[in-house]
Structure 1
Amino acid sequence: MITTYDTPAEAMTTITDGWYNRLAASLNLSVQHFQLLQPPGVPVSDQTFWACFNVVPPATLKYNRWYYQQPTFFSQYAAVVNALSFPEGAFVKDIGAETYAQWQAYLKTLSPPPPANTLPTVWFQWAVVNAPSVANIGRSDLATQLLISGAQAVLEPYEGPDAKPADFSPSFSDLQNTLRASSGTNFFFDSADEDPDVSNSWVPGDDPNYFGIWTGSSAAFHISRKFASSRITVSIQFDHFTTMAVTPGQWYNSALLHQAWASQSTPPWIDSSDWQTYFGAGGSLTYAVGSILAADGIALTLTSDAEFTQTEQTLIKSLVAMGDWPVYCPITSTAVSNTITTGPGSTTIQFKSEPGNPVVLGFNVFDVRSYVGAG
């Protein structure tokens, strides 16, 4: 099925959805996870690289960073960790006051006292003999206590006025090395032939486009509509490209996030309504970035047969440094260049990134259920 758009304001959405499908097909990306990043990231260090994907991505095929003001993944994870607790009183309630007293008496006979990380095992070995009916729930309670306290202790150095920066893997140099060892590709886009149907993607239907012909322009501008309604061809070359998994650093505990997602009760939540705040419909931690698409040595040549007026041509030329469709990459350093030539019925835009300067073009996004390994 080919999706059609009835109003001129949707012309940019049509060609961008076609570009999305062409990029996914050419690079073997799954439309069940892939998300375009607009503008793309051009990192120069670990911190700028990690900042590209330290985000809770919105539910959109085209993550326009000027439009969506998304929280960082770190901030939401930290908020979840600090919203969890398993008080000793909950443990007493689950195993019974009499059993708890017996358990405490037993612990006092052990010299030296068992380390905290062994208590679930020590409890279970004692309870299968002395309190078999609550052996399992007691072990689970103690394991949850240990999980929460451990995660909070590890997170503590990353919070507060002297906080360590939230790190991730890979590093920027890892990305550069991986790209150098990766293959390249060439492919071609023709707006007359591309299919803009995204109804089978992870965000089905009309996923709007917020930029027009250049970064920051409206998709509803007359000049953007004229551009999008023309025949557009794009020749693309990547010297190297890779899809690379990204993972949080030592501050992150995947088991705890799974525990938080899997239980809506109190405990482990201090306030049971917080589950909805983070994981419910419209919650602030419903998606996460699992991997990134990056390319190095990009050469992209776009042609349009739009009949731009002299005034429109002058405007496009004056704003070419802002970055143009389809990558919207502003010129922020000598690593990136955008050039344009115009004439009657012909506009050519060339985008290049210098070798050795990775460009992060998009993400593979997972809902939080999948991200925490729950299905």
Structure 2
Amino acid sequence: MSDPGTVLDTVNAKWYNTLAKELNLSVEEFQLCQGDVILPRTTDELWDMMDALPADTVIQYYSPDTLVSLSSQYTSLLSFVQASSVADLNKAMGADNTKSWAAAKSAYFKANPSAFSDSAIVLQTALQNLFQNWSMAELVPNPGSAAQCYTLYRAGFENPIYIAQELQLNLPLGGPAAFNQTYEGVLGDIGVAPSVNFTMESAQASSDISNSWANSSSSTGGTYFYSKSSSSASTDFSQTFASSSFTVAVSYDHFINVAALPLSGESIDADKTTYLPWYYGAALAYAYNNKTAAVWTDLTQWDALFGPEGSMQYVVTSLIIADGTSTITTSSQAFSTAEQTYATAQSNEGYGCWPYYVSNSSDSTTNTSTTFNASSNLVVTTTSALGNPIVVGVLVSSVKDLAQDA
């Protein structure tokens, strides 16, 4: 008997290719999502989903408590890179003045949060003016020293690392890391998005993912048809389903591609709070393209982030969202009485099942119904009423490509 995970990997690959084709998504960017994929109900939670870094597989089982975030890895990156002019400035000012300037800058941030609300250019101008005034007052009685330090300070802004490290101060401790969309805005856009309908025929669908951005179709949550738990019943049922032909009829009342971009331009208001830009893409590109001791204080960290096993090889650039969904999976295989009993019990317990694995619990907006027709063929209907969107997948970009395009 072959490994059930391997069998479902083939099924997953066929489902992945079908969605990419029918939804007009490039396999060079598309990643299918399974698991806890109901669209978050708050902006903070939406941003957390956008902040999640994708695993190196075309199908990711989304579980918020196990994901690595872009904001955390970006913060880690900025702690291991440097702008050389900053060292020259610190040397010219001396330790006491360096600490004094840091305190003055921090106090100004707290007193004037809106001063840095628009862009890196606004930040640069505001900080240069602040430093000039501070240096003339604090570096007396040596005006020459103040002028020298101001020149060095301005030079620092020629390096994107320095700008990024300044903007990073806008990232709230403990989150959330702000992105370019709010929940209310996304919900409004979904409401006017077009509909999509299609049917997958497993016998005709391709399982070839060799041209995709990732060559794996494994899913950490999609090992068995109904659940992640291993048992002889789950193995037998999954084998029966995956080894026979089936159809999946899909209907989305609304379907939309929502850009997921870390906040780097103008500020954004959400939940009566103003969030300031914290991300600077040019710094990420600069750090990626300059694997040198002059830029990195610890070169091993470049490999830890960007190497073959690195934690920051890909980032999410869009969420693929559907609303008013209906998915009817019908197998051509006759299932035994034991298999039918297993499936009915699993469905009644509220376990999610392939292809989404969204739970059918009392607080879920998704409903899964399992039945068997007169020929003992499996028919599973999964629906989510209009106004309860689910995230079908995401689009991803490699950091390498982003670094080349910057």
Task: Decide which of 155, 165, 178 is 1:152's aligned counterpart.
Answer: 165
* Cα distance change, pair 341–192 in 1 and its aligned pair in 2 (3 A): same
Partner of 1:222: 236
Letter in 1 for 2:202: S
Letter in 2 for 1:85: Q
Partner of 1:347: 378
Tell me the secondary structure at the aligned position of residue 371 of structure 1. Answer: helix
C-alpha deviation, 1:74, in angstroms: 0.9
Choose 210-219 or 193-202, whichever is displaced more.
210-219
Partner of 1:336: 366
* Cα distance change, pair 148–337 in 1 and its aligned pair in 2 (3 A): same
Task: Decide which of 287, 301, 309 is 2:314's aligned counterpart.
Answer: 287
Partner of 2:207: 196
Partner of 2:33: 37
Task: Decide which of 233, 240, 243 is 2:247's aligned counterpart.
Answer: 233
C-alpha deviation, 1:248, in angstroms: 0.8
Instruction: State yes or no: 1:269 paired with 2:281.
Output: no
Question: Where do 1:1-375 residues align within 5 Å?
Answer: 9-42=5-38, 43-65=40-62, 69-88=66-85, 117=128, 142-144=156-158, 147-158=160-171, 160=173, 163-204=174-215, 207-210=217-220, 211=222, 212-217=224-229, 221-249=235-263, 250-320=277-347, 321-332=350-361, 333-343=363-373, 344-374=375-405
Query: Which blocks of at least 5 consecutive residues in structure 2 are unaligned?
Result: 90-124, 130-151, 264-276
C-alpha deviation, 1:8, in angstroms: 6.0
Letter in 1 for 2:378: T
Tell me the secondary structure at the aligned position of residue 167 of structure 1. Answer: coil
Native 8 Å contact 2:330 2:379 kept in 1: yes
Q: Please give the alpha-carbon distance, in whole angstroms, between the structure 2 residues aligned to 1:115 and 1:52.
A: 32
Q: Deviations over 1:42-72 (max 9, x none)?
A: 1211122222231111110111236994411
C-alpha deviation, 1:11, in angstroms: 2.0
Native 8 Å contact 1:11 1:225 kept in 2: yes
Q: Please give the alpha-carbon distance, in whole angstroms, between the structure 1 residues aligned to 2:158 and 2:293.
A: 12
Q: Please give the alpha-carbon distance, in whole angstroms, between the structure 2 residues aligned to 1:197 and 1:370.
A: 24
Tell me the secondary structure at the aligned position of residue 181 of structure 1. Answer: coil
C-alpha deviation, 1:192, in angstroms: 1.7
* Cα distance change, pair 302–164 in 1 and its aligned pair in 2 (3 A): closer
Q: Please give the alpha-carbon distance, in whole angstroms, between the structure 1 residues aligned to 2:202 and 2:317.
A: 30
C-alpha deviation, 1:40, in angstroms: 5.0
| RMSD after superposition | 3.0
Native 8 Å contact 2:321 2:392 kept in 1: yes
Q: Please give the alpha-carbon distance, in whole angstroms, between the structure 2 residues aligned to 1:68 and 1:202.
A: 25
Q: Please give the alpha-carbon distance, in whole angstroms, between the structure 1 residues aligned to 2:41 and 2:64.
A: 24
* Cα distance change, pair 91–67 in 1 and its aligned pair in 2 (3 A): closer
Partner of 1:100: none
Q: Deviations over 1:20-56 (max 9, x none)?
A: 1111110100011100111152121112222223111
Q: TM-score, normalised by structure 1?
A: 0.79
Partner of 1:101: none
Q: TM-score, normalised by structure 2?
A: 0.73
Native 8 Å contact 2:50 2:179 kept in 1: no
Letter in 1 for 2:207: P
Q: Please give the alpha-carbon distance, in whole angstroms, between the structure 1 residues aligned to 2:351 and 2:335.
A: 19
Q: Deviations over 1:204-262 (max 9, x none)?
A: 3x533442212424598222111111221111100010112111121111121122112
The number of aligned residues is: 328
C-alpha deviation, 1:305, in angstroms: 2.8
Task: Tell me the percent identity.
Answer: 28
Partner of 1:97: none
